[in-house]
Amino acid sequence: MPTPKLNRLALRFMQKIQDPITLDGAVPEKFTAGTVIRTVGEIEQYLHSAAMKFMEQSWNAAKPPDSMPSSLSHKRAFLNLFPELFKFREITVVYAAGVSSVDLTASFFFDVFDILDSRKTGGIVIEVWDQDKLADAMTGSNPFYLGSVAAPGMILQHPKLFVFPNSIADPAAYSFDLFYIQNVVNPQTGDILRTGGAFDIPFSEHRFETIADIAAGLYNKDDFQEDAGGE
């Protein structure tokens, strides 16, 4: 499948390190290797590392000041800057051994970076609860973290997503639209994004200059270390 944004990011990165590449004329949705970086896989790895570093830097930069330590305000601030990373997909939670949960990796939700208050048919909101309250919610020891069918809650503890009350998926599976912040990986495998793959990079194109700069910096660091090691 075409991955036009990833391809354009690759072209910009390779221009910056003076190893220009082109799109493959025989397979237009893919880019070629360079003469310095000699495999497409290496280029993809630099782009992945740069995109993940940019994600981490941006997430940390969006943290509220210490005077306002709110996870919710952090997510809002981040999405205000990166609305393109908001995503929603239907997810199904199952009930087993007294717990309603789903393994995100087994359900092909590898791209979940963090979760947001979500919605079920009928307007029911599934509220995100603090990770620190997982033990309370599991044992039902805290009256503020019990949840109900009309007002459920959920806690992300990678790779598990827990939904409360514990028995909410009993006897049937419980499905709803999970709202989340998307990470820069293949949602089905957790692998890095590949040219001509099934998933394109989620960042908007006006981020590409910064990501390409990061990728060039990573390459130059590797190149310097390689030269220093060869002396």
- Structural domains of the chain, count: 2
Is residue 197 in some structural domain? no
Is residue 194 in some structural domain? no
Is residue 166 in some structural domain? yes
In three state form, how does the secondary structure of the chain look?
CCCHHHHHHHHHHHHHCCCCCCECCCCCCCECCCCCCCCHHHHHHHHHHHHHHHHHHHHHHCCCCCCCCCHHHHHHHHHHHCHHHEEEEEEEEEEECCEEEEECCCCCCCCEEEEEEEEECCCEEEEECCHHHHHHHHHCCCHHHCCCCCCCEEEEECCEEEEECCCCCCCCCEEEEEEEEECCCCCCCCCCCCCCCCCCCCCCHHHHHHHHHHHHHHHHHHHHHHHHHHC
Q: Which domain holds residue 53?
A: 4-66+207-230
pLDDT of amino acid 230? 55
Residue 229 has pLDDT above 90, yes or no: no
Is residue 95 in some structural domain? yes
Residue 24 has pLDDT above 90, yes or no: no
48 and 193 in contact (C-beta within 8 Å)?
Answer: yes
pLDDT of amino acid 227? 62
Is residue 22 in some structural domain? yes
Asked whether residue 148 falls in the same domain as residue 108, the answer is yes
Q: Per residue in 154-167, pLDDT tens?
A: 999 999 999 999 99
Asked whether residue 17 falls in the same domain as residue 78, the answer is no
The residue length of the chain stands at: 231
Asked whether residue 38 falls in the same domain as residue 88, the answer is no
Asked whether residue 123 falls in the same domain as residue 160, the answer is yes
Asked whether residue 76 falls in the same domain as residue 62, the answer is no
Residue 70 and residue 30: Cα distance in Å, rounded?
42
The larger pLDDT score, comparing residue 70 to residue 199, is at 199
Is residue 188 in some structural domain? no
**Percent residues over pLDDT 90 in the chain:** 86
Asked whether residue 56 falls in the same domain as residue 79, the answer is no
Paired tokens of 64: 């509220």
Q: Per residue in 25-78, pLDDT tens?
A: 777 789 999 999 999 999 999 999 999 999 999 999 998 776 555 666 899 999
Is the pTM of the predicted complex or chain greater than 0.85? yes
Asked whether residue 50 falls in the same domain as residue 77, the answer is no
Is residue 189 in some structural domain? no
